[in-house]
Amino acid sequence: MDPIVLVVDDEEANRLTLERILVREGVAVQHAADGKEALQLIREIRPALVLSDLKMPNMDGMELLRAALEVDPDLEMVLMTAYGTVETAVEAMKDGAYDFITKPLRRADIVRTVRKALERRALVSENRALRDELDLARSEDFIGHSPTMRQVLEEARQVADSLASVLITGESGTGKGLLARYLHRHSPRRRQPMVTVNLSALPESLLESELFGYEPGAFTGAKGRKQGRFDMARRGTLFLDEITEMDKALQAKLLRVLQDGEYERLGGNKTIQADTRVIAATNRDPAQAVLEGHLRQDLFYRLDVIRLHLPPLRERPDDIAVLAQHFVTTHATRHSRDIHGLAPDAIDALMAWSWPGNVRELENALERAVVLCRQEMVGLDDLPPAVAQQGGAPSQLFFEIGTPLKQVERRMIEATLKRVHGDKERAARILGTTTRTLYRREAEWRQNR
Ligand SMILES: Nc1ncnc2c1ncn2[C@@H]1O[C@H](COP(=O)(O)OP(=O)(O)OP(=O)(O)O)[C@@H](O)[C@H]1O
Ligand SMILES: [Mg+2]
């Protein structure tokens, strides 16, 4: 669908001139004679860009701008101003207008400005589409089968609808980011944005203005006004990831904002009410980080109102098979592969591995497996070599409910024998049976093969 430009001007001659210029550039144009009509059209035809006169009877360009952004926050708007109203136009840009052009209108100005605005609109929509897609892809269920994970999820559900700060701890790859999104999605603020700040990824010099924003002229090079993450997270959730990696002076400033519920932009003197729910995460032990001087104690107490801890995957082996199955399904869909599950020996190998990179490592291993797999099921050979060849037998076996006892018995005997390097005496002792039984079973298996 071609983007539509909506031209708003109370003078018909102007509307027609603009239309002629834009149509010749291949742009689809609609027009409205006043703000009210324009708003109606914005709701109905969803233009990409509004090119509006500033001075109009009834609703002027500024009012239209504010009302229009309520309807479509991605809307680009260019204002046309005549005599001595440039200051108002500058004001309008602070309120979200994209640009302005001064009258008398010059064809080249119009074409260039409209082009640029349309390009930006396309970028913004593309970003939004990508983000929505990502959100959707990530909004999949939080998988937790083990008793510990069930308990964490239960607690998370209980605290989600409060405004209390939450501190999420756990090794890298255990799902802290996912849990933060889960909390936001189950909170009354789910329709507002969740804004993430990765405190280890931003250079110190930028972090302060990233968090709080700035006003024009706050420092050399600060041209317009910049929204900070606190601004963007208004009425939503602010996720502070890797909280212990933050500069300590800034930690003090953050604490003040969390305590007083207000802040100022850099170079600004207006006090702004902070209205955001804060979730913080760290892969360190926060108490230890306090002792070692990486985290201010007072900030720690302020954030640690509710603690959710995600245990490492090796401490919850019950989750491995379910997560593995889940990742096979999602990645098979993503890569359009017709793969339905995992072979039993592949599951055994997954259960035996210690997963130092936790769920992220498991997910990566299975995405790779899905891509490599040439059968209908992910097999042992498809797993990363280190996982597949663990030089020995697994310490645990996995059985679907309903697996025939004969099969359970056979896999159990084989795995135990492998573990004791074929020593039948030992295997029989471990399994609580006799060597005679083991020999008999082996003979049966040979026959039935
Ligand atoms: N319980 C789970 N169910 C489904 N997917 C999970 C689960 N836990 C983690 N994942 C997936 O594993 C990957 C890693 O999770 P995430 O990024 O949330 O970890 P993290 O703890 O934030 O790691 P880091 O400390 O490195 O930032 C993500 O793709 C996430 O979707
Ligand atoms: Mg993370």
Burial class (CB in 10 A: 0-12, 13-18, 19+), 87: exposed
Which residues lie near ion ligand 2 (Cβ < 5 Å)? 176-177
Cβ–ligand 1 distance for 169 under 6 Å, the answer: no
Contacts of 103 (CB under 8 A, 6+ apart): 80, 81, 82, 83
Residue 138 confidence (pLDDT): 52
Return d(Cα 238, Cα 194) in angstroms, integer.
6
Q: Long-range CB contacts (< 8 A, 24+ apart) of 11-14?
A: 11/53, 14/53, 14/105
Peptide bond into 356 cis (omega under 30): no
Residue 378 confidence (pLDDT): 95
What's the Cα-to-Cα distance from 334 to each of 227, 246, 250, 341, rounded to whole Å? 35, 36, 41, 15
- For ligand 2, the distance from its centroid to the CA atom of residue 310, given in whole angstroms, is 12
With left for phi above 0 and alpha for psi between -120 and 50, is residue 17 left, alpha or beta?
alpha
Cβ–ligand 1 distance for 283 under 6 Å, the answer: yes
Return d(Cα 42, Cα 348) in angstroms, integer.
58
| End-to-end alpha carbon distance in the chain | 62
3-class DSSP state of 108? helix
What's the Cα-to-Cα distance from 300 to each of 43, 279, 294, 303, rounded to whole Å? 47, 12, 10, 5
Tokens of 135: 């959100």
Cβ–ligand 1 distance for 196 under 6 Å, the answer: no
Q: What is the CA radius of gyration of the chain?
A: 31
Closest ligand 1 atom to 180 CA: 18
Closest ligand 1 atom to 177 CA: 18
* Ligand number with the minimum distance to the CA of 172: 1
- For ligand 1, the distance from its centroid to the CA atom of residue 181, given in whole angstroms, is 11
50 closest CA partner among 100, 94, 103, 107: 100
Helices (H) and strands (E) in the chain, counts: 19, 14
Residues of the chain with pLDDT under 70: 1, 83-85, 129-140, 391-395, 449
CB 409 within 8 A of CB 441: yes
Backbone angles phi, psi at 197, to 5 degrees: -120, 120
* Identity at 112, one-letter amino acid code: R
Closest ligand 1 atom to 319 CA: 1
Return d(Cα 223, Cα 231) in angstroms, integer.
18
Residue 57 confidence (pLDDT): 84
Tell me the residue length of the chain. 449
Return d(Cα 362, Cα 349) in angstroms, integer.
12
117 closest CA partner among 66, 70, 52, 40: 52
3-class DSSP state of 139? coil
Q: Element (H or E) spanning 322, and its range? A: helix 318-334
Among 138, 178, 245, the mutation site with the greatest number of ligand 1 atoms within 8 A of its Cβ is: 178
3-class DSSP state of 189? coil
Tokens of 122: 């396309």
Closest ligand 1 atom to 326 CA: 4
* Identity at 26, one-letter amino acid code: G
3-class DSSP state of 35? helix
- For ligand 2, the distance from its centroid to the CA atom of residue 176, given in whole angstroms, is 5
Smallest CA separation from ligand 1 atom 8, residue? 175
